[in-house]
Amino acid sequence: MTMFVVLVCAMLALALAFPLVPLLRQRRMSATTRDADPRKLKALNDALSAGVIDDSEYRAKLATLAPAAAVSAGSGSARGTLLVSVLVALLVPAGAIVLYSLNGDPRALDPTRLVASADQDPTAGEAAGQTVDMDQAIAGLVAKLEANPDNANGWALLGRAYQATGKFAESRDALKRAYDLEPDNHDLTVEYAQALALSGEGRRISGKSRELIEGVLKADPGHQRALWLIGISDYQAGDYNAAITAWNQLLPGLPPDSDIAKSVREQIADAQRLGGTVAIAEVAAAPTAPAQATGKESASPVAGAALTVNVSLDPSLRDRLDPTATLFVFARAENGPPMPLAIQRLSAATLPVTVTLDDSMGMLPSMKLSMFPKVVVGARVSRSGNALAQSGDLQVLANGIDIARKQPLDLVIDSVVP
């Protein structure tokens, strides 16, 4: 299955409240078709309806989900034309490439959840064709927006797609276009605010980003995602009581035993562990114990954790280096989620280079460098500039690095991603 289909399936699985209209095509599926994974089937239907894949590619991909249903599934395409046209007008054809829907779901900021569904670890080897699929889908969306630049939904979808591939500056610019078209749309405003933070130094929610979120909360005090992000902003600033207060406001509107509520309670427990004195909201279920790290890791932070990394290129690969490529230097948990705990994005032309990885380069409070005693540190030269590794990229990985080490770590990029 291509990365495109995987990303669409992940988006549908993670969406909490994105107002997609169900397609008639799915309701016309035969009993055999319904035997296929419903999330994957719906993702495939949405991709066809959005115009990103044609009928022949649709049938071929459907055959991999439920071989006996490929013919029967296509019979409703003509009758769904009107609905498809409306959906295309609202969402823009390449909308199905988006990794996740962000409206009203506080988990949307948690990269570990996204990785679990879409495996976007920049150290993971991905087939070249999968990245090409994503790039082509984005290119198709860009072309649609050139023809229809006043489509706010389209710009928002493009921004999310760029964010899913680690292109945070491009994501910010696309979401700015959406925000300019619909400045009173609270969901778009919050998305744009997050994009500003992700593309800024240290990925901190401050300045203009925080100002936008505060504006949304003034108009809509119960906006879930805005509450989640303002709590992150307070946490980053060390105001743990304010963070807990914001996150406590999320809990009354969440099912007490839901994964979302559990995630919020874990963040509150983390803020309390670091000095917050505000109690957890009584309306929620009893708080869980502080999140335990996986495997050999410990949840006890290592004070002042920072790794100095000297990155150079092996002379044997000098002829393969494209100076216009992107250099990623990152650290991830040795035994845990593959999402980077800290990452720097540089130009490959800067090699050799020395960088420092620390907690300021993490976005989520529970996914900091200081929370994991042993990490994998790596460097990778990406020709595409994506956070998705692909065949031909140059890289090096060092396992079992103690984050308490004081001496610099020397990394020599000496291998090629197969």
* pLDDT tens track for 207-238: 999 999 999 999 888 888 899 899 999 998 88
- Residue 189 has a pLDDT of 94
Judged by average pLDDT, the poorest of 31-40, 261-270, 291-300, 375-384 is 291-300
Q: Which of 385, 381, 386, 396 is nearest to 327 (CA)?
A: 381
159 in a domain, yes or no? no
- Residue 2 has a pLDDT of 43
Tell me which amino acid residue 117 is.
S
Q: Which of 110, 111, 105 is nearest to 227 (CA)?
A: 105
Average pLDDT over the chain, rounded to whole?
A: 71
254 in a domain, yes or no? no
pLDDT-derived band at 387 (thresholds 50, 70, 90) equals: low
Residue ending a domain, choose from 98, 117, 145: 98
For residue 224, CA distances in Å to 69, 109, 230, 309, 376 come to 40, 12, 10, 38, 34
Eight-state DSSP code of residue 53? S
For residue 155, CA distances in Å to 29, 142, 252, 271 come to 32, 9, 33, 35
- Residue 43 has a pLDDT of 59
User: Which residue in this structure is represented by tokens 């569904």?
Assistant: 117
- Label the pairing between strands 415-416 and 326-333: unpaired
pLDDT-derived band at 272 (thresholds 50, 70, 90) equals: confident
**Strand extents, DSSP E, 130-233:** none
- d(CA 138, CA 281) in angstroms, rounded, equals 42
Residue ending a domain, choose from 98, 114, 131: 98
Count how many Cα atoms sit within 13 Å of the Cα of residue 343 in the half-sphere of its side chain: 25
Does residue 151 carry a pLDDT above 60?
yes
Does residue 109 carry a pLDDT above 70?
no
Q: Do 374 and 334 contact (CB within 8 A), yes or no?
A: yes
pLDDT-derived band at 289 (thresholds 50, 70, 90) equals: very low
Name the more confident of 328 and 180.
180
User: 119-132 burial, b if ≥16 CB within 10 A, otherwise e?
Assistant: bbbbbeebeeebbe
237 in a domain, yes or no? no
- Sheet (strand 353-358) strand order: 353-358, 306-313, 409-413
Residue ending a domain, choose from 50, 82, 98: 98
Mean pLDDT for 263-279 is 84
274 in a domain, yes or no? no
361 in a domain, yes or no? yes
List of residues 6+ apart from 238 with CB closer than 8 A: none
- Residue 35 has a pLDDT of 52
Judged by average pLDDT, the poorest of 125-134, 220-229, 370-379 is 125-134
Structurally, the chain folds into a number of domains equal to: 2
Q: Residue 65 sits in which domain range?
A: 3-98
- d(CA 120, CA 98) in angstroms, rounded, equals 13
Name the more confident of 163 and 25.
163
Q: Do 165 and 388 contact (CB within 8 A), yes or no?
A: yes
Tell me which amino acid residue 307 is.
L
335 in a domain, yes or no? yes
List of residues 6+ apart from 351 with CB closer than 8 A: 311, 312, 313, 321, 327, 381, 413
pLDDT-derived band at 38 (thresholds 50, 70, 90) equals: low
- Residue 298 has a pLDDT of 39
Concatenating the DSSP letter of every residue in 56-74 gives HHHHHHHHHH-GGGHHHHG
List of residues 6+ apart from 318 with CB closer than 8 A: none
Enclosing H/E stretch for 138: helix 128-147
Name the more confident of 165 and 237.
237
Q: Do 384 and 330 contact (CB within 8 A), yes or no?
A: no
| Per-range mean pLDDT, top range of 65-69, 274-278, 348-352 | 348-352
Judged by average pLDDT, the poorest of 205-219, 241-255, 363-377 is 363-377
Mean pLDDT for 19-43 is 47
Phi, psi of 322 (to 5 degrees): -95, 110
- Residue 335 has a pLDDT of 73
- Residue 40 has a pLDDT of 58
pTM of the complete model: 0.46
Mean pLDDT for 177-191 is 93
Mean pLDDT for 114-132 is 41
132 in a domain, yes or no? no
| Surface-to-core class of residue 400, CB atoms within 10 Å of its CB (0-12 exposed, 13-18 middle, 19+ buried) | exposed
- Residue 381 has a pLDDT of 93
171 in a domain, yes or no? no
- Residue 182 has a pLDDT of 94
